[in-house]
């Protein structure tokens, strides 16, 4: 049995920016029998519903900026990620919702300051923290057929 950190919206929690979910029954069936630890940094930091945000490259850094106000929203997400992994040091696998600026593992979009798309295979802010800690990490969309997690 593995201990798996999973984006809460994939479990069916209505924590997306618009109050909907990304429930993925196929993935959940693959995860059956494992210990699931759900997380949602954006719901924790900003509540639901909330404005969307995009990853924007600034010098060497990638930051999450509000699409409504332009405010830099990165720090609360990063703080949540650090606290989450500190309190769960034995996570075996991180599965994030693909394309999310927080949870996407190899699928988050990054823009330049003029809103031009410059990458579609970046890590979101929480996924980046998992990768930094050496935790194996995958996007939910990578599970497309019956395979072991």
Q: Which residues bind ligand SF4 (CB under 6 A)?
A: 7-9, 15-16, 40-43, 97, 100, 102-103
Token pair for 143: 């599970």
Return the number of the residue (103 or 130) whose C-beta is nearest ligand SF4. 103
CB of 117 to ligand SF4, least distance (A): 19
Return the number of the residue (25 or 59) whose C-beta is nearest ligand SF4. 25
CB of 50 to ligand SF4, least distance (A): 9
Those residues whose C-beta lies under 8 Å from the C-beta of residue 145, and which sit 6 or more positions away, are: none
Return the number of the residue (19 or 114) whose C-beta is nearest ligand SF4. 19
CB of 115 to ligand SF4, least distance (A): 20
Cα angle, residue 13 at apex, residues 54 and 16 outer, rounded to 5°: 20
Return the number of the residue (124 or 148) whose C-beta is nearest ligand SF4. 124
CB of 84 to ligand SF4, least distance (A): 11
Whole-number Å distance between alpha carbons of 57 and 46: 22
Whole-number Å distance between alpha carbons of 50 and 60: 27
């Amino acid at each position: 049995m593995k201990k798996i950190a999973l984006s809460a919206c994939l479990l069916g929690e209505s924590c997306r920016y618009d109050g909907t979910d990304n429930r993925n029954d196929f993935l959940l069936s693959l995860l059956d029998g494992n210990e699931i630890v759900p997380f949602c940094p954006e719901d924790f930091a900003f509540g639901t519903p909330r404005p969307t945000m995009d990853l924007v490259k600034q010098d060497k850094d990638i930051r999450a900026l509000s699409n409504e106000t332009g405010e830099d929203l990165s720090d609360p997400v990063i703080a949540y990620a650090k606290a989450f992994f500190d309190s769960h040091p034995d996570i075996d696998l991180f599965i994030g919702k693909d394309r999310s600026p927080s949870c996407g593992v190899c699928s988050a979009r990054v823009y330049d300051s003029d809103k031009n798309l410059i990458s579609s295979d970046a890590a979101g802010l929480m996924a980046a923290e998992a990768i930094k800690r050496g935790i194996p990490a995958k996007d939910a969309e990578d599970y497309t057929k019956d395979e072991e997690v």
